[in-house]
Structure 1
Amino acid sequence: MRRPAFYSRSPRTLPQAADPAADQAAVPSSEGGGRGAPPVPPDSLSHAKAGWQPGRRSFAFLLVLCAALVAGGATWWPRQGKALTQKDIDSAVLRTLQTQTLPSPAAKAAEIVRPSVVRVVGYGPEKATPEAKTQKRGRNMAKGKPPEAPSDEGPPGQVERGVGTGVVIVDKGVILTNLHVVAGAETIKVTFSDGLEAVATITGVQPENDLAVLQAQKIPDDLIPAVMRSTADLQPGDQVAAVGFPFGIGPSVSAGVVSGLKRSFRSPEGKQELGNLIQFDAAANPGNSGGPLINMDGEVLGIVTAILNPTQQRTFIGIGFAVPIENAASAAGSPPF
C-alpha cells in the first residue's frame, strides 16, 4: 500500500539576527576583568563606527547580482501566455475543419471492421435458376468478362456457384454468413482480409433466419473478430454501413441509415419468409449477403440477408434487410446479450 506523505507540524523558523551592539557588549576585555574594549586600530575606526562587519560587502554584492538576474530573467524566459477561452478553442477547431479533410464516420467504421470481413465462395455444379444466372452475369461483368462467359473453375469438376460475404465473430475462425450463400455448395472457400484463402465447413445453420456458421480450417495468426452490438437501442435514422463483396467486388462499403425495425420479407420465389428484420437504405446487391451491417463505431448490428425488388433483376432500389445480431449470434450457439 502506498504510504501517505508526512508533513511537519511546525514551520521552520530562521534564527534571529545577531545584535551588533549586544555582541560588542559581550566581548570580554583583555584588561581589568572586562572593564574596557580592546584597542582598535586607527584605520578601522570609521568601519567600526559605521557598524561594518566582515563579509557584509560580499553579501551586498550578492544582493545586487541577484537583483540583476531577476530583472534580466523577464527577458530571458518567455512570458506565460494568456489563458485559453472557449472562444479560442472553438475558433481553432473551426479552422481545422475548414483547412483539413477528415475521414467520414463510415470510412472509420469500415476500417475498424475490415480485418473481420471475409469473402465467401461456394463451388459445385452450376445452378440454372434465374437468380443464379443473374448473379453469374454480374460477376462476369465485374471481372471484365462477357456476361455469358463460363464460370470460373474451382476444384476439379466444380464451378463457382455464388459469391457472398462473411464476418468473423470468434478468433478461432468462426464465421457468420447467409445460408443461401453456401447452401448446396460442395466446397466452400473463404478469403481473409490479409489474402489468406482457406477451406471452410458448415458447423451450424438457422434456416428460419437464413443463417449459417462456418469454421475455417486455416486462419491468419492475428485474426481479429468483429465486435457485436445489441440492437435494443437501435432507432430509425441511425447511421449504418454495409460491408461486403457485391458481385465479388470488394470489400465494398456503402453508407445509409436504418429505415425501420421489425420488418418482414418474403423471398421472390415465395419459399421463405423472414421476420424481425432491420430495414436499411445503404446500397446492397447480390454478394453483400452474409456481410455485416455496422454502426459508426464499427460494431456489427446485423447480417445483411436480402434486398427488396419487385422485378427479377435483383438490383438495389433502396430497401435492404439484415438479421439482427442477437439472432445471428444465437445461430453460433453463443447469444452475446
Structure 2
Amino acid sequence: MRRPALYSSSRPAPAQQATAAQPTPATVDPTPSPAPRRRRLSLSSPALLWAAIALLSAVLALSLSPAMHPTQRKLTQQDINAAVLKTLETQVLPSEYARAYDNIRPSVVRVVSYVKRSRLKDEMPRGQGSARPKPLGPAQGNSNANAEDDEIEAGVGTGVVIVDKGIILTNLHVVSGADHVKVTFFDGLESSASITGVQPENDLAVLQAQKIPDDMIAATMRSTGDLQPGDKVLAVGFPFGIGPSASGGIVSGLQRSFRSPEGKQEMNNLIQFDAAANPGNSGGPLVTMDGEVVGIVTAILNPTPARTFLGIGFAVPIENAATAAGLPPF
C-alpha cells in the first residue's frame, strides 16, 4: 500500500500552484542538483499520532498507579474515639449550664419599679410615717431626697425579651402599683418601659421598652410538652438586685399548685424546680440546656417569714406566658 506524502505546514500560493501546473521545456541544468532535504516530523502522520497517544496514556497510568499514590487508611470508630478523648484531655469545654447562660444572657433584663414619695406618704397608715419600702437592690443615692415627687426604688425583678421589638415578660407583682418602670438591657442600655398587658391569674405582666439595643436578641421559647422531672434547667435573674446571676438545677415536678403567703391568690399548672431563686429572680427565665425558655420564675415556697430559698421554686409554663403577650401557643 502506498503511503501518503508528508507535507509541511505551509502551502504554496495559488499563483505558484498554477505556474507549477504548466509544462516547461526540458532543459539541462549544468549545476548539480542540491541534496534532497530531510523530511520534517509532523503529528499529521497517523503513526506518530498514535505513538504520542500511547506515550501520554502510559504516563497517566503511571501517575495513577497505587505505587505512586498509596491509599490512605480509612478512619475507624476507634480513631474517632481516640481523637475525642485527646481533645477532652487537652481542652476545657464549657459546661451545659455555661452554654445555656451564654444563649439566654442577651435576652435577660433587670426590671426596677419606682413609686413617688408623695403617693407613699398619702397611702401610709397612721403611726408609720417613717416607714419606707425596702429596696431589694443596692442602695440608690438621691441628691433630691427631700422633694415630694422624687421616685424611690420599690422593687427589683427580672424580665426576658420575647420579641426583638422590646416586648418583655415579667411578673405582675414586680411592677404592680409602680409609677415608673425602668429596664436595663444586657449591654447596659437603660430605658423606661410601659405595661401593655397583664395576666393576673398567672402573675404575669408584659412590658414595652421605649428604647432597645441595636443588636437586640429575643429569647427562644420552647414548649413544655416534652419536659420531664429530672431535666436540667437554669434560672437567670437578679436575686436581691445582684446579677445577672445564674443558678442550675432540675425540674422537680410538673402541674404543681401554689398559694401566696397572704392566701390571696392560687396558681396552678406550675413547673417546680430546685435551682436557687430569691426575691429579685421574679420574672426571670427558666431555661433548658439549649438556652430555650420553658417558664417564667414566679414564686418560691418558704413556710417561714424569711423570704429565702429552701429548695422549692415555681415557674409559669411558657405557653401561659406567651398568651399573656398575645403570642400564638406552640
Fold conserved between structures, TM > 0.5: yes
| Structure 2 residue 192 is matched with structure 1 residue 199 | yes
| Structure 2 residue 162 is matched with structure 1 residue 178 | no
Counterpart secondary structure, 1:90: helix
Is 182-191 or 222-231 further displaced after alignment? 222-231
Q: CA separation in 2, counterparts of 1:310 and 1:317? A: 9
Letter in 2 for 1:171: D
| Structure 2 residue 285 is matched with structure 1 residue 271 | no
| Structure 2 residue 75 is matched with structure 1 residue 84 | yes
Find the counterpart in structure 1 of residue 99 from structure 2.
108
Identical-residue share of aligned pairs (%) = 65
Cα contact 1:131–1:312 (8 A) shared by 2: no
Cα contact 1:244–1:252 (8 A) shared by 2: yes
Superposed, 1:56-71 pairs within 5 Å as: none
Structure 2 CA distance for partners of 1:329 and 1:57, relative to 1, 3 Å: closer
Counterpart secondary structure, 1:122: strand
Letter in 2 for 1:209: N
| Structure 2 residue 285 is matched with structure 1 residue 288 | no
Superposed, 1:3-82 pairs within 5 Å as: 23=1, 79-82=70-73
Structure 2 CA distance for partners of 1:237 and 1:131, relative to 1, 3 Å: farther
Deviations 1:289-334 (A, max 9, x none): 0001011111110100011112222121211110001111111122
Q: CA deviation at 1:238?
A: 0.9
Counterpart secondary structure, 1:193: coil
Find the counterpart in structure 2 of residue 50 from structure 1.
none
User: What do you get for the CA RMSD once the two structures are aligned?
Assistant: 3.2
Structure 2 CA distance for partners of 1:154 and 1:115, relative to 1, 3 Å: farther
Q: CA deviation at 1:78?
A: 5.7
Q: CA separation in 2, counterparts of 1:218 and 1:234? A: 35
Structure 2 CA distance for partners of 1:248 and 1:74, relative to 1, 3 Å: farther
Letter in 2 for 1:106: Y
Structure 2 CA distance for partners of 1:66 and 1:119, relative to 1, 3 Å: same
Counterpart secondary structure, 1:199: strand
Find the counterpart in structure 2 of residue 301 from structure 1.
294
Is 74-83 or 246-255 further displaced after alignment? 74-83
Find the counterpart in structure 2 of residue 3 from structure 1.
none
| Structure 2 residue 259 is matched with structure 1 residue 234 | no
Q: Unpaired runs of 5+ in structure 1?
A: 1-22, 28-53, 141-149
TM-score using structure 2 length = 0.74
Cα contact 1:301–1:325 (8 A) shared by 2: yes
Q: CA separation in 2, counterparts of 1:25 and 1:70? A: 32
Deviations 1:261-308 (A, max 9, x none): 011112222222211110001111111100010111111101000111
Counterpart secondary structure, 2:187: coil
Cα contact 2:197–2:205 (8 A) shared by 1: yes
Structure 2 CA distance for partners of 1:333 and 1:152, relative to 1, 3 Å: farther
Q: CA separation in 1, counterparts of 2:233 and 2:92? A: 21
Q: Unpaired runs of 5+ in structure 2?
A: 6-44, 121-127
Correspondent of 2:303 among 310, 313, 318: 310
Counterpart secondary structure, 2:97: helix
Structure 2 CA distance for partners of 1:218 and 1:25, relative to 1, 3 Å: closer
Cα contact 1:189–1:198 (8 A) shared by 2: yes
Cα contact 1:213–1:332 (8 A) shared by 2: yes
Find the counterpart in structure 1 of residue 326 from structure 2.
333
Cα contact 1:228–1:336 (8 A) shared by 2: no
Is 96-105 or 57-66 further displaced after alignment? 57-66
Q: CA separation in 2, counterparts of 1:159 and 1:74? A: 84
Is 73-82 or 85-94 further displaced after alignment? 73-82
Structure 2 CA distance for partners of 1:59 and 1:317, relative to 1, 3 Å: same
